[in-house]
Copies of this chain bind each other. A is one copy, B any other.
């Protein structure tokens, strides 16, 4: 029962953070929304940062699952696009983190270190996938090019929502923006592919643009 309340607090908080922006939601708002007393909420979580940390742990577990590569065979292009999709879906599910990323990490040293570790794992995973494509003859790129490409993929995935916000997009990101993010990453990889795959990818990528 207590465990249920705990999970419900996290679910409702995630929804409110995503919809309203984490800085605009207080523990009182969350308790109100759940129809419980602030005291009951504080029984489960010390403060809002405690809630944010637990949501971050959920996010971390999810992204770690997504970043796992098939270990029984060489990765294919389809593996990349599937992983790319699942990464962007994970970012979208926890978009409050990404919208105020710089702020949230500046405020919480523990999360800053954990986020840096996620980035490290994502970088390793992207680099391995890309080297796999080169070994399979699907892609042509030097080790330097792969290193730079993996960094650019990470940067674009991480700041895609912020980029839309600062260039004057709609106040609220939606799933069409997400597809544009996936499109931008595909277009990063495209020029390194063999002609047949590059052509196929450009056709596929076009379906992602509004």
> In the assembly, how many copies of this chain are there?
2
Known pairs A145-B190, A149-B187; A163 contacts B168 (CB<8 A):
no
Interface segment among A36-44, A129-137, A154-162: the answer is A154-162
Asked if B206 contacts A144 (CB within 8 A), the reply is: yes
Name the B residues within 8 Å of A167 (CB-CB).
115-116, 119-120, 154
A 145-157 to B, binary, CB cutoff 8 A, 1 in contact else 0: 1001101101110
Asked if A184 contacts B152 (CB within 8 A), the reply is: yes
User: How many of A's residues come within 8 Å of B, CB to CB?
Assistant: 44
Q: Complex: how many Å from CA A65 to CA B58?
A: 47
Asked if B105 contacts A148 (CB within 8 A), the reply is: no
**A165, CB-defined interface residue at 8 Å:** yes
| Nearest opposing residue in chain B for A185, CB measure | B152
Name the B residues within 8 Å of A149 (CB-CB).
187
Name the B residues within 8 Å of A45 (CB-CB).
none
Asked if B184 contacts A112 (CB within 8 A), the reply is: no
Name the B residues within 8 Å of A168 (CB-CB).
112-113, 115-117, 119-120
- B144, B152, B190, B192: the one contacting A156 at CB < 8 Å is B152
Asked if A144 contacts B102 (CB within 8 A), the reply is: no
**A1, CB-defined interface residue at 8 Å:** no
